[in-house]
Structure 1
Amino acid sequence: MQRIGMVIKLNADKIDEYKRLHANAWPDVLDMIKKCNIQNYTIFLREPENLLFSYYEYTGDDYEADQAKMAADPKTQEWWSVCMPCQKPLDTAKEGEWWVEMEDVFHLA
């Protein structure tokens, strides 16, 4: 199992919309997340900085292939198209990078 942590900014004027979207996440998108070997997926919000932190556990054997499978899914692409306007990459994100992966420095099981 691989633990993944990522961070991105949330636009202040989109906080309520983002919360509403995720309170009613689309079943097809949730199913695709599971089909791509992701479990225990959680998104946290830190205000007033408006930072989103996501955590999930990857249980598959080929992370890149599962991520590509998810990215190719039309329903997931549609979901991202409504969520992405709420988000803003960190100033330190690389070209083309959206959610930025974080280093796993400590874990207590």
Structure 2
Amino acid sequence: MDRKASVVGLDVAAIAEYKQLHADVWPTVLKQISSCNIRNYSIFLKEPENLLFSYFEYHGTDFHADMAKMAADPETQRWWDVCMPLQRPLDTRKDGEWWAEMEEVFHHE
């Protein structure tokens, strides 16, 4: 199992909409997340900086293949089309990232 964390900004005017969307995530999107071996997925909001922090555990054997599977799913693409305009990627993210990946520097079970 691998733990993954990432961060992205959120448009201040979009906070209520983003919270509402995630209070009622489309069932097909949730099913796709699970089928791609993601468990314990959480998103936290830090205000007033308006940063979204994402955490999940990956329980598969080929992370890149599972992420490609998710990205190819039409319903997931539609979900991203709704959510991504509300987000503000960090200027410091690496090429190819939307959510900036974070390094784990401490963990305690």
TM-score (norm 2): 0.98
Identity fraction in percent? 64
1:34 counterpart SS class: helix
Unaligned runs of 5+ in 2: none
Counterpart of 1:107 in structure 2 is 107
Unaligned runs of 5+ in 1: none
- TM-superposed deviation, 1:102: 0.2
Counterpart of 1:59 in structure 2 is 59
TM-score (norm 1): 0.98
- TM-superposed deviation, 1:24: 0.6
Counterpart of 1:50 in structure 2 is 50
What CA RMSD, in Å, does the superposition of the two structures yield over aligned residues? 0.7
2:22 pairs with 1:28: no
Counterpart of 1:72 in structure 2 is 72
Number of matched residues? 109
1:48 counterpart SS class: coil
1:14-35 Cα offsets, whole Å, 9 max, x none, are 0000000000100000000000
